[in-house]
Each structure stands twice: as structure tokens, then as C-alpha cells.
Amino acid sequence: MTTLKGKDILDGAQFTRDELEQIMAVADDFRGQLEKKRGLDLLKGYVLAAIFFESSTRTRLSFETAMHRLGGAVIGFSSAESTSVAKGETLADTIRMVDQYADVIAMRHPRIGSAREAAEMAVAPVLNGGDGAGQHPTQALLDLYTIRRERGSLEGATIALCGDLKNGRTVHSGAEIYKHYGCRLICVAPAALQMPDEVVARLRGFGVTVELTSSLEEALPQADVLYMTRIQKERFADPAEYERLKDSYILTREMVERLRPDVTVLHPLPRVNEIATDVDALANAAYFRQAGNGVFVRMALLALVLGVV
Ligand code: NCD
């Protein structure tokens, strides 16, 4: 039996298949329990620090909801401006301190590698809620959970990842997780925003079939799952480049119905323009259910790293 007790959750590549299965099973168990009862008391007396140096809606609120549903307490902040970072405090010093207040830390920060730096400082497990254009493993886990719930299995599925694959941290983590399930990946992006070469090379080294294209029309008919992403405006140094690329892909209901009516459509959200709102009513548009699943998966992660399940 694997154990995640005391472990940090930093990137998508860290998991074994057994660990993934364990997280999925615990998340499912919590979902079942919450259907009968609004909350549990497994983490009564424990404190989560949710420290978000960069904007967030779902990740922060679902971490907080997860902790509350488990009977624990939450401290934290949702922007660096309201903290001593505004006075010049370093991340290392902030973490040293938060580590003394809390049993577990969920953090988001604009710098790649920041979660790993924090994990090196902190005794408490650190859960990476997004480090710049790096990784976002807890999102990728809830994406995995959603695909299984929507489709039963992802064994051998073709997953099309579409949008800003260069800067999108959820797909960086996701690709590392899908590789355990024999999935074929189609990376759909303009050349300037394609999946980083080193990620593609690593996946291929692992035996994953990875195809690269800029055409959503070409990829969609082959896809069991279409994972749309936002063009990550905040990561562009040149606003003109963002303007040029921002509407690279817009998925419409007509496209789904014509090209792949049974595709499962996911999106980590927030959506800007890349999925027309007329897609929302399709039974296989799963992105709002996906956001809801974040609570069960984050409950599982909190309970596992704190060693109470
Ligand atoms: C994503 C993120 O922050 O990376 N959002 C999320 O956590 N659900 C995706 C995005 O911002 O585009």
C-alpha cells in the first residue's frame, strides 16, 4: 500500500499509478459520504493555510470547502497585496511562518518552482495550487477524476488538449498523469503555444503516442475527450502577441455536433472565449461538473497527506 502521508503535492510527474488510484478511490468515498451527510469531522482541529499570491476562484474556494467539509479550519489570503509581501517579505520567510500556524499549506504563486521552494522550507505538506506557467497537479487530479466519472474509464482514450499548451499549467500536469492510462494525446495549439518540447519528449520516452497539430477541426473527430484551455494572457510579455493568438480556437455547438457529438468536453475554467456558451447545454459538456469534483479530490488529498485515511 502506498502512502501519501506527509508528502508534498508538487507536480503531475510525481505520482505512481497506485497513488493515482488511491486518490481517486478516497475522493469517490468522500463523494458518497457527502451525499448522505453535509460534513465529516476527520480533520477536526487541523488547520489549512490557503495562501494565494495569484488570483484564483475555484482552486482556493474548493480547497477551503474541502477543509470545511472535513471539519477542519482555514486561514490564508487571496492576494499578495494584503500581506507583508507588499512590504518586501520573501516567500521563504512567509512560508517559515505559515508553517508554524498550519498543518497543511495550499499555495498558488506566479513563479515557476515556487511550490517546490516552499516545500523545502516547510515541515507541513505543501499542495501546489499553481506555480506560474509550471504545474497544477491538484487540477490535473480532478480532471482525471472527472474523465473517469463521465466516461467510466480513460484506458486507451484519445485526449485532445487544446489552446495554450505552452503556458497552461493544468495540461503540463495532466499529460504526466494520463501517461499512466495508455492514452493517446493530440496537442492542438498554434505553433507559438505548443506543448513544450521537453514534455513531449518525456511522454514519448514513456511510450505515449503524442501528436501535434494546430487544427482543432482535424483533431476533434478523433477525440474521446476534448480539454479546452484559456490563452494565458498574464503570461504574455507582448500584448500584441496575445491579441494575435487570443481567439485561436472557439469551440461551438455546431462543431461538436458535426465533428464528434459524443466527445466529453472539459475546461479547467475560467473560460474566456474558447467555448461558446451554446455548448454548455450539451449533456457531454462536463466543465461545471468538473469544477464541482474539485472538492472531493481536494478532500482526498488533504486527508491523505495528513494521514487520517
Ligand atoms: C487554471 C489555472 O489557474 O491554471 N484555473 C484553475 O485553477 N481552474 C486555468 C486557467 O487559469 O486558465
Q: Is the pLDDT of residue 225 over 90?
A: yes
Q: Compute the distance between CA of residue 3 and CA of residue 294 in angstroms, rounded to an integer.
A: 21
Residue nearest to atom 11 of ligand 1 (CA): 270
Q: For a pocket test of ligand 1, which of 62, 170, 233, 246 has the largest count of ligand atoms closer than 8 A to its C-beta?
A: 170
CA 29/CA 34 separation, integer angstroms? 9
Percent of the chain with pLDDT over 70: 99
Q: Radius of gyration (Cα) for the chain, nearest Å?
A: 19
Retrieve residue 278's grid coordinates: 451554446
Protein residues with CB under 6 Å of any ligand 1 atom: 58-59, 130, 136, 139, 169-170, 229-230, 268-269
Residue nearest to atom 1 of ligand 1 (CA): 268
Average pLDDT, the chain: 97
- Model-level pTM greater than 0.85? yes
DSSP 222: G
Report which residue type is found at 67: M
Local structure of 105: helix, strand or coil? strand
Which pLDDT score, from 0 to 100, does residue 1 have? 57
* 221 pLDDT tier (thresholds 50, 70, 90): very high
pLDDT of 127 higher than 80 = yes
pLDDT at position 6: 98
- pLDDT, residue 111, reads 97
Query: What would the pLDDT profile of 5-62 be if each residue is shown by its tens digit?
Result: 999 999 999 999 999 999 999 999 999 999 999 999 999 999 999 999 999 999 999 9
Q: How confident is the model at residue 112, as a pLDDT?
A: 98
- CA–CA gap between residue 161 and residue 216 (Å, rounded): 10
Q: How far apart are the first and last CA of the chain?
A: 12
At 128-139, the pLDDT tens digits run 999 999 999 999
Ligand 1 centroid, distance to 235 Cα (angstroms): 12
The atom of ligand 1 lying closest to the CA of 108 is 3
pLDDT beyond 70 at 123 = yes
DSSP one-letter string for 62-87: HHHHHHHHTT-EEEEES-GGGSGGGG
Helix (H, G, I), strand (E, B) or coil at 248: coil
Angle between helices 58-69 and 287-305 (to 10 degrees): 50
170 Cα to the center of ligand 1, angstroms: 7
- Percent share of the chain, pLDDT over 90: 95
Region 150-154 average pLDDT: 95
CB half-sphere exposure, 10, CA atoms < 13 A: 15
Predicted confidence at residue 39, as pLDDT, reads 95
- The position carrying cell 516552499 is 118
Residue carrying the nine cell digits 472557439: 250
Instruction: Output DSSP code: residue 191.
Output: G
Ligand 1 centroid to Cα of residue 41, in Å, is 29
Which residue has the least CA distance to atom 7 on ligand 1?
Answer: 59
C-alpha cell at position 208: 505515449
Task: Give the distance (Å) from ligand 1 centre to CA of residue 73.
Answer: 24
Query: Hunting for cell 505538506 — which residue is that?
Result: 125
pLDDT of residue 81: 84
pLDDT tens digits along 80-104: 887 888 788 999 999 999 999 999 9
Edge to edge, what strands does the sheet with 225-228 contain?
210-213, 184-188, 158-162, 225-228, 264-266
Q: Residue 89 is inside which H or E element, if any?
A: none
DSSP state of 50: E
